[in-house]
């Protein structure tokens, strides 16, 4: 058994144990394998071990891998999870299934219009990114502004509003981790409860939060999708793209 497959099994066990500890069903939490900086062959290996959802941060690198793995496209779901600049939205609209990092209306509008240029593709699934720790270095809207952005995104064609994404400031204290995730969950639930009868919110069901170092805390506070890279693929070299 390769180290990648062993790691993948270990992460799935962590998710299951965290779910059971939170009195949740493990099936409620999806694992998104963050494959940025790792090769197409590593993604293919993980896919053959049962992993289908992969997250990428860098547009050019991701498009190269998506193209290399075109033959496997029916079995792969590609999530863009990094900061997104306006001049990169068309490539993302063309190649990805999900975008987690919508932090302003302009980006959502561009993704909506550009997705419409590919009528053979299904609607693009979007999450609004919130900056729960209010870090200057992080993308995302303030929790107080999340509903306003969600309302605007929900009205756009060719895209579907799916939920919220957050990357809290790193902290080794599980209690501090949980407080940040709880704030995002409470924001999510407020938005959801305000739009119970709104068709534009019928698929608003995703809380994308939790990574290798804090997924247990995220799951305890309601995460439905954890984004795990290092614990699956190993340590990565830092690159800038």
pLDDT tens, position by position, 209-219? 999 999 999 99
Distance (Å, whole) CA 178 – CA 191: 20
If you ran DSSP here, which 8-state letter would residue 28 be given?
G
CA 131 to chain CA centroid, nearest Å: 14
pLDDT tens, position by position, 110-168? 999 999 999 999 999 999 999 998 877 788 999 999 999 999 999 999 999 999 999 99
Distance (Å, whole) CA 153 – CA 162: 10
pLDDT tens, position by position, 106-115? 999 999 999 9
CB 78 within 8 A of CB 54: yes
CB 139 within 8 A of CB 129: yes
Q: How many CB atoms lie within 10 A of CB 158?
A: 18
CB 157 within 8 A of CB 200: no
Q: What is the domain partition of the chain in residue ranges?
A: 3-233
CATH architecture of 3-233: Alpha-Beta Barrel (3.20)
This prediction's pTM: 0.95
């Amino acid at each position: 058994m390769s180290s990648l497959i062993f790691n993948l099994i270990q992460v799935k066990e962590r998710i299951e144990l965290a779910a059971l500890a939170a009195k949740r069903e493990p099936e409620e939490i999806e694992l998104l394998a963050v494959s940025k900086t790792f090769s197409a062959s590593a993604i293919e290996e993980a896919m053959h071990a049962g992993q289908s959802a992969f997250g990428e941060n860098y547009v050019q690198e991701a498009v190269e891998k998506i193209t290399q793995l075109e033959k496997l496209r029916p079995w792969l779901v590609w999530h863009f999870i990094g900061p997104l600049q306006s001049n990169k939205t068309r490539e993302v609209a063309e190649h990805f299934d999900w975008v987690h990092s919508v932090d302003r209306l302009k980006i959502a509008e561009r993704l909506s219009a550009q997705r419409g240029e590919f009528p053979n593709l299904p609607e693009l699934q979007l999450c609004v990114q919130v900056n729960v720790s209010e870090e200057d270095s992080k993308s995302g809207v303030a929790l107080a502004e999340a509903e306003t952005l969600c309302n605007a995104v929900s009205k756009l064609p060719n895209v579907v509003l799916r939920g919220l994404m957050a990357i809290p400031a790193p902290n080794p204290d599980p209690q501090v981790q949980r407080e940040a995730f709880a704030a995002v969950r409470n924001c999510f639930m407020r938005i959801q409860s305000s739009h119970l009868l709104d068709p534009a919110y019928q698929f608003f069901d995703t809380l994308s939060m939790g990574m290798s170092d804090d997924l247990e805390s995220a799951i305890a506070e309601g995460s439905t999708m954890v984004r795990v890279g290092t614990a699956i693929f190993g340590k990565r070299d830092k690159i800038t793209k």
